A and B are shown apart, each in its own frame.
Chain A
Amino acid sequence: MDPLMPPPVRRISLEHPPTVVAPDADAPENAGASSGNGTARSAAPAPNAVERMRCDAVTIAYAAKIAVNKVDLEIRQGEVLGLIGPSGCGKTTLLRSLNRLTELTPSAARGGRITLDGEDLDAIEVTALRKRVSMVFQQPNPFPMSVFDNVAYALREGASRRPRKPQLAEPVERALRRAGLWDEVKDNLDHPALRLSGGQQQRLCIARSLAAQPEVLLMDEPCSALDPVSTTTIERLILELREQIAVVIVTHNLQQAQRVADRVAFMYLGELVEQGTSEQIFHAPQAQRTRDYVGGAFG
């Protein structure tokens, strides 16, 4: 194997009938974990969705403050999962725990179990895990290097600056194309990435994440710092990506969740109050708190 390329990514062939996991199948074990708020969890998965990640009774605390409380959640390839809820409800913390970024906070502690393709997250070497579960942040944050190097950064081993362009040109182009940025930057690959506009920077960050061929893409309010046109571009991109990778997007823009998410999970004060299809959550919410939040009674 070429030592300079990332390890091969396990690809799920969509020709084979995927193992669809209905959330009701594990309802008994979920019942205790959801702290008995009595909400129905009947999310009908998209027909070709495949479970990739699963959270079992995940609790995350910063010192004594519990940020995420016993959350059960599945993340499936083939659909976009939207995490919604008011600020400080734990949705970003939950998202960060999915590639163990929470470990960077010394005071954070996690309970419960998160699996990626059935494998416990804690058993996967952390850099290998983060290549499979990548993340896009709220603020566009390209690195202070050229557009090309930003995307190639994920492909190169460690801190290496090599191999030079020939071997990398093709995967870099592919990633930039997937992020819908290629046509805008193809002539300026050597330009500093920080000269791009905010929307372009964010798409570059998405391209950078895609370059490592992740299986799950986590997005933490990726459009909140962007203008409406860039937002539309990125939302369209998210919809294109969902067939190939599992996408989780945190947003507190409910309209955005409605536009891009197939399945929505509503969190409030660290608890997962309700999850279901976008249709269910926005038009027929079961829990009172969801109804109030979606209806605009608080937020």
Chain B
Amino acid sequence: MAAATAPAPPPPGVRTRARDSAASWPLADRVGLACCWAAGLALALVAAAIVIYMAWKGISQLSPSLLVQHPTGDVDQSKAGGFLDPIEGTLLLTLIGIALAVPIGVATALWLVEYGRPAPLARAVESSVEIIAGAPSVVLALFGLTVFSNTFFSFMSFRPTGADLAYGRSFLIAGIVMSLIALPLVVGATREALLQVPNHVREASLALGKTKAATIRRVLLPTIRPGIATGTTLGMGRIVGDTAIVILLLGNTLLTEPQEGLPGFGLLRGTGSTLTSYVYGNSPAGEGNAPEKAYAAAFVLMVIVIALNALATRLARGRDGGPAWIR
């Protein structure tokens, strides 16, 4: 209808929108506008400075051999080896954390949005997710250390001889606590996606004589897949970037050191390091004092996190902008 009454499109190259200039604004408004511009530009400048500086420092130190060599604890930087083990550690830890966070997070979001009753319980769950989201990771790590040092959990790490405590540090334990920092992001993204599905879509499924469970599995889950993917990717970014949990709960050993046990499970019970703890350890603040290696590892870390964030943005936008009824 609107199209029918709209005027014919103007010839190309002709300005059709009214001129909007700040020149006629009051001085206070112009100053305000300038501040907004300045703030935005300053932030972009800071981001660019970080990326360029780290890229310059990192690329000059990075060589392909660093990615495939095991690190060694040598004071001489040229003999300190590469950072294969930290890369492995980062991947393994992220995998464990995400494998735990995604199912639990999606289930929580589904319950909150699709059931969410009794309402006080739903509010309590929401608050709990917010508390976990707000807790500094070092606090979560300390809590994890206290819990998993209990001898009951010694199967997850090992029990030093003669000690009355479990060691409380392993890939499995660090992964469990890491899942906590990814969980709020998964819950949040899934929840947003569910809230965007209009009610008539759920009702259309129910009106065909389907149960709520069938509706969730066959209609809602496929619909919110981009939302889940976004939350997953953001969560991975958080896990890859976290240091405190690695230092407190992964043992922070330079090499990946599996414990005895079944081949895979021994690795999970073992200790290791990640890129973040490697950067920390080799920075001038750490014990290794190999800043060149730290810059190279930091650059790799930064590339991984930026790539994950770019992926998340892309997934959130969706391939076709989402189903037509999601608007």
Contact = CB atoms under 8 A, between A and B. Distances in A.
Contact of A101 (B207, B214, B223, B320): B207
A139 B207 CA distance: 14
B260 interface: no
Given A141-B325, A144-B223, A158 B210 contact: yes
A99 B207 contact: yes
B222 A135 contact: no
B195 interface: no
A143 B218 contact: yes
Interface centre among B198, B200, B209 (most CB of A within 10 A): B209
B69 to A, nearest CB: 47
B325 A139 contact: yes
Interface in B193-225: 198, 200-201, 203-211, 213-214, 217-219, 222-223
Interface string A127-139: 1111110110111
B218 A194 contact: no
A216 to B, nearest CB: 11
A145 B208 contact: no
Interface string A18-62: 000000000000000000000000000000000000000000000
Interface in A98-156: 99, 101, 104, 127-132, 134-135, 137-141, 143-145, 153-154
Give the contact-size bracket for chain B. Answer: 20 to 34
A159 B214 CA distance: 4
B209 A154 contact: yes
B208 A154 contact: yes
Contact of B207 (A130, A140, A194): A130
B83 to A, nearest CB: 42
A129 B219 CA distance: 20
A139 B200 contact: yes
Contact of B208 (A139, A159, A201, A212): A212
A80 B320 CA distance: 38
B225 to A, nearest CB: 9
B209 A143 contact: no
A134 B211 CA distance: 14
A4 B30 CA distance: 69
A208 interface: yes
B213 A130 contact: no
26 contacts: A6-B209, A101-B203, A101-B207, A104-B203, A127-B211, A130-B209, A134-B209, A135-B207, A137-B200, A137-B207, A139-B325, A141-B198, A141-B200, A143-B219, A143-B223, A144-B222, A144-B323, A145-B218, A153-B208, A153-B218, A161-B218, A194-B323, A194-B325, A198-B324, A208-B208, A212-B209
Interface of A: 6, 99, 101, 104, 127-132, 134-135, 137-141, 143-145, 153-154, 158-159, 161, 194-195, 198, 201, 205, 208-209, 212, 218
Given A131-B208, A159-B210, 4 more contacts: A101-B203, A130-B210, A137-B200, A144-B223
